[in-house]
């Protein structure tokens, strides 16, 4: 079923307000989740609402947070998110990093005591829309990545996003998991009853799993097995994805003082807040180049890439961000696809929140 994005926004904001969120935080969270769905990142948009509902009812989400600046310099800040959902504090953190970079050339803001924040690319795009370079990483609560040469998951999907502004072209927008696939995408395949491609998920013996229900079990329920690092196998470069995942956690987790899930699982109780960390960096090109010079160079690079000889005459050469913007244009016109299984879950969330269900 296709649902207009304005209805998704209304449903999300209504539920969040019913949970006790302020109007401003409810609107910000709904906006970021809708943007995620419009970009085609179905694993991190409205499909996350049932999970947030579970976290809220388990007492792990603070719906009325007060953010605290723990440390601050001209170019940096450390923010305590007060056990809140990650979207509002991430919009705040990225904008604060941009404000600082416009003064100091570079701005870095880290956040701890947060929760899931959706798609990292939505926050790096904030920087690009304000005319600067943005980079975002985050630690994760899930333990789903099986490191190269390991037989059990230790790391999460550990996202990395980067955006840079151009003049004539859309910003360059890289948004990626450091696993071969995001855990949420395995969930999406299960919701759609669609087998997984080989190499995404492995069992306790390191053998690939394609059945969507079995794969979901290895990612979300079982102790052994899980998602492969980006690359899939050692021969195909999984050690590179593994290394990138560690870099992401160092910046988003260790630098901010957020928890590392395997340690958290041994030292904290299940009802405790997740203490997820985020990292937001902004770089002002004008600190290095004359105004407009960076954007002009990036436009030329993007033009060259778009003009590269095609392997398939019917398939243009794209750069990071192109597929998301094409999907956004299509979904603004046609609506966001919502699988039947997810629709039933969303209706149940609305019923529990005692708010009208406006998606169908």
From the list 117, 118, 234, 238, the residue with the least C-alpha distance to 179 is: 238
Q: CB-based burial of residue 122 (10 Å sphere; 0-12 exposed, 13-18 middle, 19+ buried)?
A: buried
Note whether residue 6 is domain-resident.
Answer: no
Note whether residue 78 is domain-resident.
Answer: yes
| Helix ranges restricted to H, the chain | 5-18, 23-38, 49-57, 86-104, 121-129, 183-191, 212-220, 238-249, 261-267, 293-306, 322-334, 340-353
Contacts 24+ apart (CB under 8 A), 284-292: 284/101, 284/102, 284/105, 284/106, 284/131, 284/132, 284/133, 285/131, 285/132, 285/133, 285/165, 287/101, 287/105, 287/106, 288/105, 292/167
Strand partners for 247? none
Tokens of 251: 């910046």
Note whether residue 93 is domain-resident.
Answer: yes
Over residues 53-80, mean pLDDT: 97
Give the pLDDT score at 182.
82
Give the pLDDT score at 270.
80
Residue 243's domain comprises 64-179+236-306
- pLDDT for 302 beyond 90: yes
Note whether residue 97 is domain-resident.
Answer: yes
Helix (H, G, I), strand (E, B) or coil at 328: helix
Residues 147, 196 contacting (CB under 8 angstroms): no
Note whether residue 46 is domain-resident.
Answer: no
At 73, the pLDDT band (50, 70, 90 cuts) reads very high
Q: How far apart are CA 158 and CA 142, in angstroms?
A: 9
Over residues 80-95, mean pLDDT: 98
Q: How far apart are CA 303 and CA 289, in angstroms?
A: 20
Dump pLDDT digits (tens) for 153-203.
Answer: 999 999 999 999 999 999 999 999 999 988 888 988 998 999 999 989 999
Over residues 53-60, mean pLDDT: 95
Note whether residue 150 is domain-resident.
Answer: yes
Dump pLDDT digits (tens) for 107-156.
Answer: 999 999 999 999 999 999 999 999 999 999 999 998 999 999 898 999 99
Least confident of 67-71, 132-136, 206-210, 246-250: 206-210
Note whether residue 119 is domain-resident.
Answer: yes
5-18 helix and 340-353 helix, angle to the nearest 10 degrees: 40
Give the pLDDT score at 354.
98
Note whether residue 11 is domain-resident.
Answer: no
* CATH for 268: 3.30.1370.60
Give the pLDDT score at 35.
98
Least confident of 11-15, 33-37, 67-71, 261-265: 261-265
**Structural domain count, the chain:** 1
At 360, the pLDDT band (50, 70, 90 cuts) reads confident
Tokens of 254: 């260790």
Least confident of 166-175, 203-212, 223-232, 265-274: 265-274
Mean pLDDT of all residues in the chain?
96
């Amino acid at each position: 079923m296709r649902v207009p994005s304005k209805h998704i926004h209304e449903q999300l904001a209504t539920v969040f307000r019913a949970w006790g969120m302020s109007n401003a935080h409810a609107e910000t969270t709904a906006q970021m989740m809708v943007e995620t769905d419009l970009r085609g990142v179905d694993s991190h948009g409205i499909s996350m609402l049932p999970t947030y509902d579970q976290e809220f009812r388990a007492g792990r989400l603070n719906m009325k947070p007060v953010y605290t600046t723990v440390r601050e310099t001209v170019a940096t800040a450390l923010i305590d998110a007060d056990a809140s959902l990650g979207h509002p504090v991430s919009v705040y953190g990225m904008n604060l990093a941009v404000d600082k970079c416009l003064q100091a050339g570079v701005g870095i803001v880290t956040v701890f005591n947060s929760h899931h924040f959706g798609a990292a690319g939505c926050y790096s795009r904030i920087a690009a829309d304000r005319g600067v370079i943005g980079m975002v990483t985050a630690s994760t609560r899930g333990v789903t990545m099986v490191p190269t040469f390991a037989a059990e998951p230790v790391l999460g999907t550990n996202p990395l996003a980067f955006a840079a502004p151009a003049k004539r072209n859309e910003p360059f927008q890289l948004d990626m998991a450091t696993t071969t696939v995001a855990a949420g995408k395995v969930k999406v395949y299960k919701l759609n009853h669609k087998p997984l491609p080989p190499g995404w998920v492995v069992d306790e013996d390191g053998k690939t799993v394609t059945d969507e229900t079995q794969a979901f079990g290895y990612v979300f329920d079982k102790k052994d097995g899980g998602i492969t690092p980006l690359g899939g196998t050692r021969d195909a470069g999984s050690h590179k994805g593994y290394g990138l995942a560690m870099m992401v956690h160092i910046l988003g987790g260790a630098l901010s003082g957020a928890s590392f899930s395997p340690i958290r699982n041994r030292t904290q109780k299940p009802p405790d807040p997740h203490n997820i960390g985020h990292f937001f960096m902004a770089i002002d090109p004008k600190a290095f180049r004359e105004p407009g010079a960076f954007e002009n160079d990036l436009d030329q690079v993007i033009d060259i890439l778009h003009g590269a000889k095609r392997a398939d005459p019917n398939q243009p050469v794209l750069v990071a961000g192109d597929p998301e913007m094409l999907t956004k244009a299509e979904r603004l016109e046609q609506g966001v696809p919502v699988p039947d299984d997810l629709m039933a879950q969303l209706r149940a969330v609305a019923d529990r929140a005692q708010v009208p269900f406006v998606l169908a």
